[in-house]
Amino acid sequence: RKEVEQDPGPFNVPEGATVAFNCTYSNSASQSFFWYRQDCRKEPKLLMSVYSSGNEDGRFTAQLNRASQYISLLIRDSKLSDSATYLCVVNYGDTGRRALTFGSGTRLQVQP
Amino acid sequence: NAGVTQTPKFQVLKTGQSMTLQCAQDMNHNSMYWYRQDPGMGLRLIYYSASEGTTDKGEVPNGYNVSRLNKREFSLRLESAAPSQTSVYFCASSEPRQGYYEQYFGPGTRLTVT
């Protein structure tokens, strides 16, 4: 079983739609959670961190449910420029490693 | 301020050849990482360096070696390339503060081993 699991998609949505992605993680010792965005043939870039109380950044809302070990990302009013792969990322913070464990990503295609 | 740079951007090797992937960062970060990305697998950690002078194995270290040359530079070496090492390689750096571990990635090296 993968440590971080995501629906690979693709999610094809029209402009203006609301779309939600979920992600589950297997290690209950996970400490930090993130969503990264990766454009085609580019490097991953941090989209937003995910806090226990949930957090919002413009059209993007992230939620964390520690009891069920899942993370979600909600995108409202989708834009063409939101088309990308969204990576769910978890950090265990163990032994000073501070490396990240990545899901394989969910691809979003926003259509005009 | 270039962030994280990687060279080369593309490389084709024959099985058994060796090469070194270079990575440098100008953000004065202590920690640096090498990942590989394969279709459907997500990014997987090959090696990391928590600080200058230290390196440790990640999830998939076999067939690779690394050198943390100084605080800025972290290289990845393939001693005898195999087709299974065909992948996109990303270098990253971070400076953890209060448990927040954003990592900054280089543009990647696309490696094909024939």
**Residue A81: its pLDDT value, please?**
97
Inform me whether the C-beta atom of residue A10 falls under 8 Å from chain B C-beta atoms: no
Inform me whether the C-beta atom of residue A98 falls under 8 Å from chain B C-beta atoms: yes
Chain A partners within 8 Å of B102 (Cβ):
34, 46, 49
How would residue A98 be classed by pLDDT, with cut points 50, 70 and 90?
A: low
Distant-in-sequence contacts of B65-70, Cβ < 8 A, 24+ apart: B66/B34, B68/B32
Inform me whether the C-beta atom of residue A34 falls under 8 Å from chain B C-beta atoms: yes
Backbone angles phi, psi at A42, to 5 degrees: -125, 175
Q: What tens digit of pLDDT does each residue of A8-50 get? A: 889 999 999 999 999 999 988 777 899 999 999 999 999 998 9
**Residue B65: its pLDDT value, please?**
97
- Low-confidence winner among A18-22, A67-71, A92-96 (lowest mean pLDDT): A92-96
**Residue A58: its pLDDT value, please?**
96
Give the angle subtended at the CA of A39 by the CAs of A48 and B27, to the nearest 5°: 60
Contact B107 A4 (CB under 8 A): no
**Residue A8: its pLDDT value, please?**
87
**A96 pLDDT above the threshold of 60:** no
Average pLDDT of chain A, as a whole number = 90
Half-sphere exposure of B46 (CA within 13 A, CB side): 26
Which has more pLDDT, B54 or B1?
Answer: B54
**B5 pLDDT above the threshold of 80:** yes
Q: From CA A22, how far away is CA A112, in angstroms rounded?
A: 24
The minimum CA-CA distance between A98 and chain B, rounded to whole Å, is 7
Calculate mean pLDDT across residues B33-56.
91
CB neighbours of residue A37 within 10 Å: 19
Burial class (CB in 10 A: 0-12, 13-18, 19+), A52: exposed
Inform me whether the C-beta atom of residue B33 falls under 8 Å from chain A C-beta atoms: yes
How would residue A92 be classed by pLDDT, with cut points 50, 70 and 90?
A: confident
**Residue A25: its pLDDT value, please?**
93
Which has more pLDDT, A21 or B96?
Answer: A21
Calculate mean pLDDT across residues B21-25.
98
The minimum CA-CA distance between A55 and chain B, rounded to whole Å, is 15
Side chain identity at A109, as an amino acid letter? Q
